[in-house]
Amino acid sequence: MGCGPGRHSVELARRGCYPTGVDISERFIEIATRAIADEGLPGEFHVLDAWFMEFESTADQAICLSEGAVGLAGSDAAHQQILDNVFAALRSGGYFVLSAIQTSNAVQDPAVAEAFDAYTRTMQEDEVIVDSDGQER
């Protein structure tokens, strides 16, 4: 979930898994799809908001690493819905592996500390994204 350009999914496919990657970014899904096609690996990737994910008991395991949707959804309710969707996607006994930023660790960075709201334990970041054509957004 929130697989990005397939950093982990492609490696898992190389190791014999069948990854089903979902990400809200069309461009990342394009890159991940091309990566497994180029190597002839198994797997599939879908442009999908984790909030609307509707897999039903089809996944042996689920992973969400480096804030792939969890941590980015903006509210407790949205995060709960995403976690419910993961639970629904898992077969009985399946594991969910989730990595999360430890906030007290993160705020040691002065740039983060300034943007960090201790009450909601959230921060807002503004980033400039440069696409492959050099266009900034």
Ligand X SMILES: C[S@@+](CC[C@H](N)C(=O)[O-])C[C@H]1O[C@@H](n2cnc3c(N)ncnc32)[C@H](O)[C@@H]1O
Q: Which is nearer to ligand X, 54 or 93 (CB)?
A: 54
Give the DSSP H or E segment for 22.
strand 20-23
- Contact track, ligand X, 4-33, x by CB under 6 A: x--x--------------xxxx--x-----
Candidate residues 36, 50, 59, 89; the one interacting with ligand X per rule CB under 6 A: 50
Site for ligand X in 67-126 (CB under 6 A): 67-69, 72-73
Minimum Å gap between C-beta 23 and ligand X is 4
44 binds ligand X (CB under 6 A): no
Candidate residues 17, 31, 44, 65; the one interacting with ligand X per rule CB under 6 A: 65
Minimum Å gap between C-beta 64 and ligand X is 7
Q: What is the DSSP string of 61-105?
A: EEEE-SSSSTTTSSSHHHHHHHHHHHHHHEEEEEEEEE----HHH
Residue 104: CB atoms within 10 A of its CB come to 8
49 binds ligand X (CB under 6 A): yes
3 state DSSP class of 8: helix
User: Which of the stretches 43-51, 83-91, 100-108, 116-124 binds ligand X when contact is defined by CB under 6 A?
Assistant: 43-51
Q: How far apart are CA 77 and CA 25, in angstroms?
A: 22
Question: Is the sign of the CA dihedral 58, 74, 129, 118 positive or negative?
Answer: negative
Q: How far apart are CA 65 and CA 94, in angstroms?
A: 17
State the residues that interact with ligand X by CB under 6 A.
2-4, 7, 22-25, 28, 49-51, 65-69, 72-73
